[in-house]
Amino acid sequence: MVILLCISFLTVTSQESKQDLEVKRKKIEAEIEYTNKLINETRKSKQATVGELKLLNRRINQRNDLVATLKKEIDYLETQIDVNESSIGKLNRELEELIDEYSKLVFVAYKHQTPYNKLVYIFSSEDLNQAYQRVRYIDQLSSYIRNESKNIRSKEAVKSGELIKLNEQKSSKKQLLDSENEQVSRLEREKIQKDEVMAQLSGQEKQLQADLKKKEKESRKLDKRIEEIIAREMKAKKDDTGKKTFALTPEEQLVSDSFAQNKGKLPWPIERGVVAETFGIHQHPVLKNVKTKNNGVDIATSPEMEARSIFDGKVVSIARITTTNTAIIIKHGEYFTVYSNLDKIYVSQGDQVSTRENLGRVHTTLKGKTELHFEVWKGKDVQNPAYWILKN
């Protein structure tokens, strides 16, 4: 009984884990499909770009995650197969014992199968009590044989079910192994494709340096604007008595506390996208000995995609960085969120916005790149957005 309970527990646990892995695998497959779509958009210009290279690197990482997930699924299936094979082996041994015992019982019953033999057996008793016991013995023997027959049929049915399950698991394992081999082949092809794009970009060093300087100039302008807005919003205010205070209003404090309580649960600033560059300092993907700093995250997305507020707040600034790059800054108590690289704006300064409300359209370059830059600040301290928004 203990062994059967352990087997059942292992099977349930593996099944639950397998389901989790299936969900994860399908999610990664959907992400890869979407990343492929974005890569195809960037290829419309017929020219290799850093944006395309970042997406290719992202797809390779996704593909590696997919292969790792497939390996885990295969491991779980192998565990289940071992458990089921052990269970079937145990059932076979139990059936052998039952059939052997059943055969012996049938042989004993055979000797008393005719009414004459039964009567001889009963009337040859030494006394009335022994005759009564022999009658009971014959009845119990018949009943026991019937029960044993039922037990044998029942265990045969269980064994049949376990064999079906085992064959299904082996079939699933083969499919997963085939899928793993296919994904590994695709991964190798994608690495070759990435190397080809790298080679093309390596011959465009001057253009890449010019593009980097332009981007750094835009980043400095955005940073300056953010700092000015935050300083203005944190400036001392007068309370009801006319005294200066740096404290938030009760309404602002409520929003601020609620924003903080939702850390890690806030929605994405766009409906769908792929992180092209994370928060922090990074080695330039092509230029040697060149590092770049990102105060937020860059999210690659589809053309015509709209940026949306991640929480209730107030629009405190709409800053035009370039002709095609406008940034919106929203205040959430002592927190601020920044949505940059928009070319069409739906809100005005001073507007109150709600969670997931559309703010503007993300700009698409002539080379097909559509990318939102998003930042989170707490007062004057920049935050890593990955800690605040839901994992994609």
Each residue's pLDDT tens digit, 53-76: 899 999 999 999 999 998 988 888
- pLDDT tier at 326 (50, 70, 90 boundaries)? very high
Instruction: Output the pLDDT for position 154.
Output: 72
Report how far Cα 160 is from the mean position of its chain's Cα atoms. Answer: 35
Instruction: Output the pLDDT for position 13.
Output: 46
Instruction: Output the pLDDT for position 149.
Output: 67
Query: Between 202 and 342, whose confidence is greater?
Result: 342
- pLDDT tier at 327 (50, 70, 90 boundaries)? very high
**Closest by CA position to 231, among listed 251, 215, 209, 246:** 246
Rounded to 5 degrees, what angle do the CA atoms 215, 313, 235 make?
75
Instruction: Output the pLDDT for position 10.
Output: 46
Mean pLDDT of 73-83: 85
- pLDDT tier at 277 (50, 70, 90 boundaries)? very high
Mean pLDDT of 144-161: 71
Owner of token pair 């995609």: 305
Please state the CATH superfamily assignment of the domain spanning residues 206-387 in this structure: Glucose Permease (Domain IIA) (2.70.70.10)
- Mean residue pLDDT across the chain: 82
CATH 1.10.8 fits 2-202, yes or no: no
**Closest by CA position to 23, among listed 64, 58, 56, 72:** 72
Instruction: Output the pLDDT for position 15.
Output: 47
Instruction: Output the pLDDT for position 367.
Output: 82
Q: Residue 118: pLDDT above 60? A: no
Range from 142-146, 173-177, 201-205, 299-303 that averages highest in pLDDT: 299-303
Strands 371-378 and 297-300: antiparallel
Q: Residue 89: pLDDT above 50? A: yes
* % of the chain at pLDDT higher than 70: 78
Q: Would residue 182 be called left, alpha or beta, if left means φ above 0 and alpha means ψ between -120 and 50 degrees?
A: alpha
What are the residue boundaries of the structural domains of the chain, listed by start?
Answer: 2-202, 206-387
Least confident of 211-215, 242-246, 259-263, 385-389: 242-246
Instruction: Output the pLDDT for position 5.
Output: 42
Torsion of CA 119, 123, 125, 126, to 10 degrees: 180
Mean pLDDT of 8-30: 70
3-state class (DSSP) for residue 179: helix
Q: Residue 122: pLDDT above 60? A: no
Query: Between 81 and 148, whose confidence is greater?
Result: 81
Mean pLDDT of 330-352: 95
Least confident of 208-217, 268-277, 351-360: 208-217
- pLDDT tier at 134 (50, 70, 90 boundaries)? low
Instruction: Output the pLDDT for position 114.
Output: 47
Torsion of CA 61, 62, 68, 70, to 10 degrees: -160
Q: Residue 131: pLDDT above 90? A: no
pLDDT in tens, 371-384: 999 999 999 999 99
Instruction: Output the pLDDT for position 3.
Output: 42
Q: Residue 244: pLDDT above 70? A: no
User: What are the distances in angstroms from CA 97 to CA 16, 85, 102, 153?
Assistant: 34, 19, 8, 14
Cα–Cα distance, 385 to 338 (Å, whole number): 11
Instruction: Decide: 57 and 285 in contact? Cβ < 8 Å.
Output: yes
Cα–Cα distance, 56 to 276 (Å, whole number): 10
